[in-house]
């Protein structure tokens, strides 16, 4: 039996390293596109200031990119080191997606990032612009592949269990790639990255404007960021709604947990805007409900009900029982009984095999589970509601706050009075952390909301871990804590230093802190 | 020609290609980082050295990432067994790789000499530890690893981290470091002039014979001192991947017998040794590109020797020989192999083309002049 502490520590390590990695990824996604836009303006207008903008914001991007690369390698190692059984069980589907990311995305971004920094004098203007855009495309393609992989974990289509190899195997690559969850996730996540880049540039430019330095440089950066940011934040919100809809189709439990929807309401369900979900009583205290909204988001209809957690748990109970049958038939197959009857019985129940595996947490043999144990396994399929409920609302609040900031800045940019709206500039500076908070809480909702599964309905988290010891886990967690803390301090120090230096760090002689500026 | 068995063999070759690309390109990146504090005395000299690989190291590193990803995709059982079994060693590799991205990018962002010197040693560690650890890993692959699979095909490791540090594996670790340093010195010669060029030549003169001697010892040790099991019965080449369906027996130190069974495989060690000897001889003189190509050929030969030597094994188990993984029974499904095959056939040439273009753009000697001209932009 696998120790709970191994599972807990493995989850802790993966969660922390993934969230840490995602401090750097969204900024990379957004900055590369903003750099592409700035340089395009430079190539079209020939104005040097746009080249300086590309180079200066490029420097900040570079400081961030190094950390993204560092922390990204961790994730690839970790599937094997900490989630070995997961790797065996779904490597047939998950592996090729990672490998595709290598071929199509990592090579592109990593090969051209060097030329972006050092190719200015070796390439023509247009060549360099192409390099910058390839870098941007590379980073977004990387997000595409990893989100197809993650989408498959949420909604595993195009694969089935093979009893001869004891793992999931791909049946349709097209289904895996065209997974609706993956498509929505991809657009939602990259757009969130573009918002992050925009907020970063907008906030820092606002700070320059507030300090009345590098005005022309900051004003142009500000305009680009507000326009790109507005378009992006709108996409994030629209696609967030879209993902509510696909969740209603594909991840009912997660949706019900996010919305603290305990009971199945008469359609169209109301949306709980606020309240205190109470897991023990399965009730949301002090709930403030908005009629119809959840039904509209989740089903886009007024007559389809949204299933509540209590009913979903009953569904799980049936599936756990089916899963026990599947497991029993699998044992027969493995002991050499390949008769048609066994095969048919197994095929009839194998979609629920994963639910049977939930019982492994309590009994090694699965088929001997008693009623109480089966109930426990069914309970396990309902995640803790309150953390999901709250983190989701934090994410949404951040999103709408940023929508306000981008809408206002865009409007005042268009009317050419943005510099004078000091309250808005100050607000933009204070809003710099928001996209990160939104991204991290968003990941939390997506991943914790999938528990108790690593592959939804297929492979329970507690079976996915490696056969390793707590000592090994503590060693790695200590290592990550040490490296990541030191690196973060260094990164923040450099980032702040270069933000303060501003475009004077380019040593062109044209900017603030450069008194010799002659023109 | 796309049947399951053929695809399994093709993928064994493809992963070999990725491993070779990794060894050849990251080999010199590692080597240059090892040589950084030794060959570069002043700050400007060190910046010359760093900038010889500054533009391209990141793209080269992707070969390592891809190697990991390809093993995950093609041989999930190998990925699972190796990475979890060698947990501590793999994390040490990972931690060592942490030093480079920040090292390259942050080092010259501040002028303080203490800051720069500290990062130089970080880069040194980032270039030195991985080849040692990879060498130790290869040594243990030849020795076999203590692991077994249970009835659910869950992998269990039966040894400890310290068990990896046995004399033969340590010898392989030293060879790994010597190889990358040798290869890195040749690369440095290709992209520098003056004092760095001369110091690199001096390194090559010493390292060449040492490397050949160590490789000779390791070869003899392997042939006569290391056991190699033998498969006596296994399912057909297109059977579902399940390692537990074969019979494996101990066969003593049978590496030579293995190579004589497939005599064409002897071309690999031949190319390996001839390549390295030529690299050493060219490296003494001024034919620097020929020298780098020769050592690349040498590395290719050595990696092929290891792959061919293990064939059809990928991981040999010493505690439960039946659990050993082979390219026939540890592979992904036919569908996955086919998809991955077509993706590779399309993207490998594209990647090679644009990588070549980037090298063409940036190729040429880096001098102290180069650094001083672009002092605020370069690493």
Cα A37 to Cα A193, A425, B96: the distances in Å are 15, 22, 36
* Pairwise CB contact (< 8 Å): A99 & B347: no
Q: Which chain B residue is nearest to residue A110, measuring alpha carbons?
A: B59
Question: Which of A13, A83, A86, A92 is the mutation pick for testing B, counting most B CBs within 10 A?
Answer: A92
Q: In this complex, which of B61, B105, B240 lies closest to A62 when CB atoms are compared?
A: B105
Q: For residues A235 and A259, state if they share a domain.
A: no
Assess if residue A41 is contained within a domain: yes
Q: Residue A514 domain-assigned?
A: no
Residue of A nearest to B71 (CA): A95
Per-residue pLDDT tens over the stretch B142-176? 999 999 999 999 999 999 999 999 999 999 999 99
Is pLDDT above 70 for A518? no
Q: Does residue A390 fall inside a structural domain?
A: yes
Q: How far is B112 from chain A (nearest CA, A)?
A: 13
pLDDT, residue A336, reads: 87
CB pair distance less than 8 Å for B340 and A99: yes
**What pLDDT sits at residue B44?**
94
Within 8 A of B347 by CB-CB distance, chain A residues are 103-104, 107
Q: Do the Cβ atoms of A63 and B87 come within 8 Å?
A: no
Taking a C-beta distance cutoff of 8 angstroms, is the pair A358, A377 a contact?
yes
Report yes or no for ipTM above 0.90: yes
Which chain A residues are Cβ-neighbours of B91 within 8 angstroms?
77, 81, 475-476, 479
With contacts defined as CB-CB under 8 Å, which chain B residues touch A175? none
Peptide bond into B288 cis (omega under 30): no
**Are A313 and A194 in the same domain?**
no
Q: What is the pLDDT of residues A42-52, one digit of tens each?
A: 999 999 999 99
In a domain, A519, yes or no: no
Q: Which of B90, B104, B339 minimises the CB distance to A96?
A: B339
Helix (H, G, I), strand (E, B) or coil at A251: coil
Give the end of a domain, one of A323, A351, A383: A383
Q: Residue A516's pLDDT band (boundaries 50, 70, 90)?
A: low
Query: What are the chain B neighbours of A110 within 8 Å (beta carbons)?
Result: 58-59, 61-62
B245 vs A contacts (CB less than 8 Å): none
Query: Are the Cβ atoms of A112 and B157 closer than 8 angstroms?
Result: no
Dihedral, CA of residue B271, residue B276, residue B277 and residue B283, to nearest 10:
140
Same domain, A420 and A445: yes
Contact A366, A380 (CB under 8 A): no
Residue A291 within any structural domain of the chain = yes
pLDDT of A372-383, one tens digit each?
999 999 999 999
Tell if the CB–CB gap between B87 and A476 is shorter than 8 Å: yes
**Partners of A155 in the β-ladder:** none
Residues near B149 by Cβ (< 8 Å), separated by ≥ 6? Answer: B77, B81, B155, B156, B243, B244, B320, B323
> Are the beta carbons of B65 and A73 separated by less than 8 Å?
yes
CA distance linking residue B246 with residue B99, whole number of Å: 43
Residue in the block written with tokens 């000299």: B45
- Whether residue A91 is contained in a domain is answered as yes
Q: Across residues A183-207, what is the average pLDDT?
A: 96
The pLDDT, as a whole number, for residue B115 is 96
Expressed in angstroms, the distance from the first to the final Cα of chain A is: 74
Q: Is A262 helix (H, G, I), strand (E, B) or coil?
A: coil
- Structural domain of residue A350, as residue ranges? 252-383
Interface probe for A, chosen from B4, B101, B364 (most Cβ of A below 10 Å), is B101
CA–CA gap between residue A278 and residue B297 (Å, rounded): 66
Q: Is A109 exposed, middle or buried (0-12, 13-18, 19+ CB in 10 A)?
A: buried
Answer yes or no: do A278 and A422 share one domain. Answer: no
Give backbone dihedrals phi and psi of A160, rounded to 5 degrees, phi first.
-145, 165
Shortest distance, CA B316 to any CA of chain A (angstroms): 17
- B48, B59, B379, best to mutate vs chain A, most A CBs in 10 Å: B59
Q: Which of A88, A114, A334 is the closest to B80 by Cβ?
A: A88
Of A383, A415, A448, which marks where a domain is finished? A383
pLDDT of A500 strictly over 70: yes
B261 burial (CB, 10 Å; 0-12 / 13-18 / 19+) is exposed
Q: How far apart are CA B306 and CA B205, in angstroms?
A: 26
Q: Residue B324, SS3? A: coil
- Interface A-B, measured as beta-carbon pairs within 8 A, has a size of 241
Tokens at A143, concatenated = 């997000």
The dihedral over CA atoms of A416, A420, A426, A432, expressed in degrees to the nearest 10, equals 20
DSSP code, position B252: S
User: What number is the average pLDDT over the span B308-337?
Assistant: 96
Convert the pLDDT of each residue in A472-498 to its tens digit: 999 999 999 999 999 999 999 999 999
Residue of A29, A13, A18 whose CA lies nearest to A435: A29
Contact flag A87-B83 (C-beta cutoff 8 Å): yes
- Contact partners, residue B288, CB within 8 Å, separation at least 6: B186, B189, B190, B282
Cα separation, A341 vs A343, in Å, equals: 6
Tens digits of residue pLDDT in A92-117: 999 999 999 999 999 999 999 999 99
In a shared domain, residues A88 and A231: yes
User: What is the per-residue pLDDT for A300?
Assistant: 82
Is there a domain that residue A414 lies in?
yes
* Separation CA B317–CA A388 (nearest Å): 44
Contact A67 B70 (CB under 8 A): no
Considering only CB atoms, A91 lies closest to which of B76, B94, B151, namely: B76
Where would I find the H helices in chain B? Answer: 4-39, 43-53, 57-74, 76-85, 87-107, 113-143, 161-164, 167-190, 194-225, 255-261, 267-284, 288-310, 334-362, 368-373
C-alpha dist (Å) from residue B115 to B99, B108, B368:
14, 9, 20
What is the phi/psi pair of residue A337, to 5°?
Answer: -85, 95
Task: Verify whether the Cβ–Cβ distance A115 to B54 is below 8 Å.
Answer: no
Q: Which of A369, A379, A364 is nearest to A322 (CA)?
A: A369
Average pLDDT over residues A309-319: 93
Q: Do A472 and B152 touch (CB under 8 A)?
A: no
Whole-number pLDDT of residue A146: 95
For A313, the enclosing helix (H) or strand (E) is helix A309-334
Do A204 and A311 reside in the same domain of the chain?
Answer: no
CB A260 within 8 A of CB A456: no
What burial class does residue A410 get, using C-beta atoms within 10 Å of its C-beta: 0-12 exposed, 13-18 middle, 19+ buried? buried
Q: How would DSSP label each residue in B83-97? A: HHHTHHHHHHHHHHH
Instruction: For residue B149, list its beta bridge partners.
Output: B155
Contact B336 A67 (CB under 8 A): no
Residues A285 and A424 in one domain: no
- Measured CA to CA, the distance from residue A340 to residue A258 in angstroms comes to 43
Q: Give the minimum alpha-carbon distance from A463 to chain B in angstroms, rounded to a whole number.
A: 10
A358 by Cβ neighbours in 10 Å (0-12 / 13-18 / 19+) ranks as: buried
Cα separation, A188 vs A195, in Å, equals: 11
A271 and A229 part of one domain = no
Q: Looking at the structure, do residues A116 and A47 belong to the same domain, yes or no?
A: yes
Chain B CB contacts of A93 under 8 Å are 336
| Interchain CB distance below 8 Å, B347 and A112 | no
End of a domain among A383, A406, A438?
A383
Taking residue B104's Cβ as centre, other Cβ atoms within 10 Å add up to 26
Taking alpha carbons only, the member of B162, B339, B363 closest to residue A96 is B339
Residues with Cβ < 8 Å from A421, sequence gap 6 or more? A408, A412
Q: How far is B31 from chain A, CA to nearest CA, in Å?
A: 19
> A286-290, A383-387, A428-432, B11-15: lowest mean pLDDT where?
A286-290
What integer best gives the mean pLDDT of chain B? 95
- Select the residue of A81, A95, A167 nearest B91 (Cβ to Cβ): A81
Q: Is B336 exposed, middle or buried (0-12, 13-18, 19+ CB in 10 A)?
A: buried
Which residues contact residue A264 at a Cβ distance below 8 angstroms, ignoring those fewer than 6 apart?
A: A305, A306, A307, A308, A310, A311
Given a contact cutoff of 8 angstroms between Cβ atoms, the answer to whether B146 and B97 are in contact is no
Q: Would you say residue A511 lies in a domain?
A: no
Residue A82, min C-alpha distance to chain B (Å): 6
Is a pLDDT exceeding 60 seen at residue A201? yes
CA closest to A115 among chain B residues: B55
Same structural domain, A485 and A342: no
Interface probe with A: pick from B29, B61, B62, most Cβ of A within 10 Å:
B62
Which of B97, B155, B361 lies nearest to residue A122, judging by beta carbons? B361
pLDDT at A519 over 50: no
Mean pLDDT for the stretch of residues A333-350:
92
Whether the predicted pLDDT of B49 surpasses 70: yes
The candidate with the shortest Cα–Cα distance to B104, out of B65, B67, B61, is B61
Q: Are residues A302 and A363 in the same domain?
A: yes
Q: What is the pLDDT of residues A11-53, one digit of tens each?
A: 999 999 999 999 999 999 999 999 999 999 999 999 999 999 9
Pairing type for strands A453-455 and A283-290 reads unpaired
Give the residues across from B147 on adjacent strands: B157
Same domain? A51 vs A99: yes
**What digits encode the pLDDT tens for the residues A354-396?**
999 999 999 988 988 999 999 999 999 999 999 999 999 999 9
From the centroid of its chain, how far is CA A194?
A: 13
- The verdict on a CB contact (< 8 Å) between B73 and A505 is no
Q: What is the pLDDT of residues A125-153, one digit of tens each?
A: 999 999 999 999 999 999 999 999 999 99
Rounded to the nearest integer, the mean pLDDT of chain A is: 93
Longest dimension (CA), chain B: 66
User: Three-state SS for A161?
Assistant: strand
Indicate the pLDDT class of residue A2, thresholds 50, 70 and 90.
confident
pLDDT for A430 = 97
Provide the domain count of chain A.
2
**How many C-beta atoms lie closer than 10 Å to residue A149's C-beta?**
22
Chain B hits for A115, Cβ within 8 Å: 55, 358, 361-362
Chain B residues whose beta carbon lies within 8 Å of the beta carbon of residue A122: 361-362
- pLDDT class of A195 with cuts at 50, 70, 90: very high
Residue among A74, A122, A167 minimizing CB distance to B94: A74
- Please provide residue A478's backbone torsions phi and psi, each rounded to the nearest 5 degrees: -60, -45
Closest CA to B89 of B168, B23, B169: B169
What percent of chain B clears pLDDT 70, i.e. is strictly above it?
100
CB distance A103–B84 less than 8 Å?
no
Which candidate from A65, A165, A476 shows the least CB-CB separation from B242? A165
């Amino acid at each position: 039996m696998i120790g709970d502490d191994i599972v807990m520590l493995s989850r802790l390590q993966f969660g922390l390293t993934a969230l840490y990695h995602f401090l750097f990824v969204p900024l990379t996604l957004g900055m590369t596109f903003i750099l592409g836009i700035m340089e395009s303006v430079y190539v079209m207008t020939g104005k040097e200031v746009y080249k300086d903008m590309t180079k200066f914001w490029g420097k900040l991007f570079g400081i961030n990119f190094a950390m993204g690369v560092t922390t990204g390698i961790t994730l690839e190692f970790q599937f094997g080191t900490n989630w070995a059984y997961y790797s065996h069980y779904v490597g047939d589907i998950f592996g090729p997606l990672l490998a595709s990311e290598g071929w199509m995305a990592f090579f592109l971004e990593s090969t051209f990032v060097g030329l972006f920094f050092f190719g200015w004098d070796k390439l023509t203007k247009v060549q360099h612009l192409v390099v910058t855009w390839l870098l941007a495309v590379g980073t977004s393609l990387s997000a595409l592949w990893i989100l197809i992989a993650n989408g498959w974990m949420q909604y595993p289509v195009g694969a089935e269990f093979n009893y001869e190899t004891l793992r999931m195997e791909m049946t349709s690559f097209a289904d895996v790639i065209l997974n609706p969850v993956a498509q929505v996730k991809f657009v939602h996540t990259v757009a969130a990255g573009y918002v992050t880049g925009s907020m970063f540039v907008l906030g820092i430019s606002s700070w320059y404007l507030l300090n009345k330095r590098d005005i022309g440089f900051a004003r142009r950066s500000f305009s680009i960021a507000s326009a790109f940011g507005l378009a992006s934040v709108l996409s994030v919100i629209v696609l967030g709604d879209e993902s509510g809809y696909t969740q209603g189709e594909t991840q009912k439990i997660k949706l019900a947990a996010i919305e603290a929807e305990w009971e199945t309401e008469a359609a169209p369900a109301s949306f709980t805007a606020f309240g205190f979900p109470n897991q023990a009583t399965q009730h949301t205290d002090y709930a403030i409900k908005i009629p119809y909204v959840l039904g509209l988001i989740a089903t886009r209809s007024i007559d389809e009900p949204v299933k509540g957690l209590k009913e979903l748990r009953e569904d799980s109970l049936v599936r756990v029982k089916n899963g026990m049958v599947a497991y029993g038939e699998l044992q027969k197959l493995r002991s050499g009984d390949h008769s048609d009857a066994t095969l048919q019985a197994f095929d009839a129940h194998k979609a629920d095999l994963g639910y049977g595996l939930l019982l492994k947490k309590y009994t090694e043999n699965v088929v001997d589970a008693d009623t109480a144990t089966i109930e426990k396994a069914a309970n396990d399929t309902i995640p803790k509601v309150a953390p999901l409920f709250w983190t989701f609302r934090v994410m949404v609040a951040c999103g709408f706050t940023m929508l306000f900031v981008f809408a206002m800045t865009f409007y005042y940019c268009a009317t050419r009075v943005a510099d004078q709206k000091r309250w808005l500039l100050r607000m933009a500076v204070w809003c710099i952390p928001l996209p990160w908070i939104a991204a991290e809480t968003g990941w939390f909702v997506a991943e914790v909301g999938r528990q108790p599964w690593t592959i939804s309905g297929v492979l329970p988290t507690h079976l996915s871990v490696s056969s390793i010891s707590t000592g090994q886990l503590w060693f790695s967690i200590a290592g990550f804590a040490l490296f990541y803390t030191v690196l973060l301090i260094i990164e923040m120090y450099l980032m702040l230093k270069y933000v303060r230096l501003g475009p004077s760090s380019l040593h062109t002689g044209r900017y603030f802190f450069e008194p010799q500026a002659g023109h | 020609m796309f049947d399951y068995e053929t695809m399994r063999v093709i993928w064994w070759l493809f992963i070999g290609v990725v491993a070779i690309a990794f060894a050849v390109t990251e080999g010199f990146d590692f080597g240059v980082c090892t040589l950084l504090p030794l060959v570069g005395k002043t700050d400007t000299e060190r910046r010359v050295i760093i900038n010889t690989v500054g533009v391209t190291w990141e793209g080269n590193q992707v070969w390592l990432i891809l190697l990991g990803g390809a093993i995950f995709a093609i041989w999930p059982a190998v990925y699972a067994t190796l990475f979890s079994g060698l947990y501590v060693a793999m994390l040490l590799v990972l931690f060592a790789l942490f030093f480079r991205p920040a090292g390259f990018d942050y080092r010259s962002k501040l002028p303080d000499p203490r800051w720069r010197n500290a990062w130089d040693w970080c880069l040194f560690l980032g270039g030195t530890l991985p080849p040692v650890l990879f060498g130790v890993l290869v040594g243990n692959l030849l020795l076999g690893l203590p692991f077994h699979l249970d009835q659910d095909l869950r992998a269990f490791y039966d040894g400890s981290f310290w068990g990896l540090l046995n004399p033969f594996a340590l010898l392989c670790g030293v060879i790994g470091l010597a190889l990358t340093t040798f290869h890195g010195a040749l690369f440095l010669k290709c992209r520098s002039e003056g004092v760095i060029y001369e110091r690199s030549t001096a390194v090559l003169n010493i390292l060449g014979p040492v490397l050949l001697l160590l490789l000779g010892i390791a070869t003899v040790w392997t042939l006569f001192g290391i056991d190699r099991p033998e498969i006596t019965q296994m399912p057909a080449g297109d059977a579902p991947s399940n390692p537990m369906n074969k019979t494996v027996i101990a066969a003593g130190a049978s590496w030579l017998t293995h190579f004589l069974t497939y005599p064409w495989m002897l071309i690999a060690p031949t190319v390996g040794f001839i390549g390295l000897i030529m690299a050493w001889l060219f490296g003494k003189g001024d034919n620097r590109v020929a020298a780098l190509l020769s050592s690349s050929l040498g590395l290719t030969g050595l990696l092929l020797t290891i792959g061919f030597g293990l064939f059809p094994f990928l991981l040999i188990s010493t505690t439960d020989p039946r659990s050993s993984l082979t390219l026939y029974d540890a592979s992904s499904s036919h569908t996955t192999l086919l998809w991955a095959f077509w993706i590779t056939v399309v993207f490998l040439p594209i990647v090679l083309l644009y990588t070549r273009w980037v090298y063409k753009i940036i190729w040429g000697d880096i001098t102290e002049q180069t650094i001083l001209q672009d002092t605020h932009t370069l690493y």
